[in-house]
Amino acid sequence: MQVTDHIHLLKIPFRLSAGPGITVERFVNCFLIYGSEICLVDAGVAGAEEAVFSYLHRTGRKPDEIGALVLTHAHPDHLGAATTIQEATGCTVIAHLAERAWIEDVDLQARERPVPDFHTLVAGSVAVDRFVEGGDTVHIDGGLDLAVLHTPGHSPGSISLHLPADGALITGDAVPLPRDLPVYDDAAASVRSIRSLMEVPDVTHLLASWDDPRSGGEVSQTLADGLLVIRRFHEAVLRAGAGEETCRRVIEDLGLPAFVLPVVVRTCRAHLAVGDSADIICENSR
Ligand SMILES: [Zn+2]
């Protein structure tokens, strides 16, 4: 559906296994920006090219008019059909340098971030033709300029895209939603990124990957809600994860001496703050 003067939203449904016999229905939004050429923001899961191409035909456009595919980040629901779409259209693939390894080597991503059904969701690796960072511009033929904002936290190279001509801000997965699972590698960076999105002037449409389009007063509310989600989750983790009782359970599970010292509580807390370094700790113990 058309959501602003130049932007069309395409909702791509998919399924995830969440344990034996449990399937979760999800969706991801891709965005098509119509200039004299077309810029596609995010590729959806493997097979999404069918929905993208048929939408283009229905709206009087053609797949080979896609000049650029911008990936907000490397995760499977954004990258899945990228290789197929690139092969079919010859488009330029654009992403932040910090996402390169996982975009260009999906087996590496599957090992380092083993999302269920990874290889069903992702058709394959794709080469990035152009790297962008915050402050860069993606020109779309037809006089449209897309400003790149670096909004890390959800992933190191997550980017958001601002189309001033439409008052539109495309945020990928940078803003966590109330009532959904918060997903980010770096909570503090997520907070800083959301605050930077709040500084973007004259945004009338907020377009995220996992949310319905937000407009008018909903824009600032949705960004504020994202900050609140992170704060609440942080407080809950600290309450549940670093408390003495949780620590006692951890100690029992590991068969360690059955008493809890404040320094051991601190150790639990240190583990909670490990974030991306968890892999390093596990590897060292092998
Ligand atoms: Zn993501």
Q: Taking residues 252-276, report their average pLDDT.
A: 56
How close is the Cα of 46 to the center of ligand 1, in Å? 15
The yes-or-no verdict on residue 126 having pLDDT over 70 is yes
How close is the Cα of 73 to the center of ligand 1, in Å? 7
How close is the Cα of 151 to the center of ligand 1, in Å? 12
Residue 175: φ, ψ to 5°: -115, 110
- Cβ atoms of 144 and 163 within 8 Å: the answer is yes
How close is the Cα of 240 to the center of ligand 1, in Å? 26
How close is the Cα of 139 to the center of ligand 1, in Å? 24
How close is the Cα of 5 to the center of ligand 1, in Å? 26
How close is the Cα of 7 to the center of ligand 1, in Å? 21
Q: Taking residues 78-85, report their average pLDDT.
A: 98
How close is the Cα of 247 to the center of ligand 1, in Å? 31
How close is the Cα of 160 to the center of ligand 1, in Å? 12
Q: Average the pLDDT over each of 43-52, 140-149, 185-194, 211-220 and give the range with the smallest value.
A: 185-194
The H-or-E segment that residue 136 falls in is none
Q: What is the pLDDT of residues 227-261, one digit of tens each?
A: 888 877 766 666 666 566 775 666 566 566 555 44
How close is the Cα of 158 to the center of ligand 1, in Å? 8
Give pLDDT, residue 239. Answer: 63
- Nearest residue to 219 (alpha-carbon basis) of 240, 244, 202, 238: 202
Q: Taking residues 175-203, report their average pLDDT.
A: 87
How close is the Cα of 214 to the center of ligand 1, in Å? 19
List beta partners, residue 2: 8
How close is the Cα of 219 to the center of ligand 1, in Å? 20
Measure the CA angle with vertex 276, ends 272 and 282; round to 5°. 80
The whole-angstrom separation of Cα 54 and Cα 63 is 9
Sequence ranges of the domains in the chain: 7-235, 242-284
Q: Taking residues 70-76, report their average pLDDT.
A: 96
| Domain 7-235 listed as CATH 2.60.130.10 | no
Q: What is the pLDDT of residues 1-57, one digit of tens each?
A: 999 999 999 999 998 776 677 787 889 999 999 999 999 999 999 999 999 999 999
- Nearest residue to 121 (alpha-carbon basis) of 69, 54, 48, 53: 48
Give pLDDT, residue 247. Answer: 59
Measure the CA angle with vertex 163, ends 160 and 168; round to 5°. 80
Q: Taking residues 174-194, report their average pLDDT.
A: 84
- Average pLDDT over the chain reads 87
pLDDT-derived band at 270 (thresholds 50, 70, 90) equals low
- Which positions ≥6 away from 107 have C-beta within 8 Å? 125
Q: Taking residues 192-209, report their average pLDDT.
A: 96
Give pLDDT, residue 281. Answer: 38
How close is the Cα of 164 to the center of ligand 1, in Å? 24
End-to-end CA gap in the chain: 51
Give pLDDT, residue 262. Answer: 52
Give pLDDT, residue 271. Answer: 55
How close is the Cα of 75 to the center of ligand 1, in Å? 5
Strands (E), the chain: 7-17, 23-34, 38-41, 66-70, 92-96, 130-132, 137-140, 144-150, 159-163, 168-172, 205-208, 214-215
How close is the Cα of 277 to the center of ligand 1, in Å? 19
How close is the Cα of 78 to the center of ligand 1, in Å? 7
CB atoms within 10 A of CB 243: 15
* CA gyration radius, the chain: 20
How close is the Cα of 74 to the center of ligand 1, in Å? 7
How close is the Cα of 79 to the center of ligand 1, in Å? 10
- Cβ atoms of 137 and 38 within 8 Å: the answer is no
How close is the Cα of 184 to the center of ligand 1, in Å? 8
How close is the Cα of 242 to the center of ligand 1, in Å? 27
Give pLDDT, residue 21. Answer: 76
The yes-or-no verdict on residue 285 having pLDDT over 50 is no
CB atoms within 10 A of CB 23: 12
pLDDT-derived band at 188 (thresholds 50, 70, 90) equals confident
Pairing of β 168-172 and β 205-208: parallel
Q: Taking residues 150-157, report their average pLDDT.
A: 94
Give pLDDT, residue 47. Answer: 97
Q: Taking residues 217-232, report their average pLDDT.
A: 90
Query: Percent helix, strand, coil in the chain (nearest 5)?
Result: 40, 25, 35
The yes-or-no verdict on residue 266 having pLDDT over 90 is no
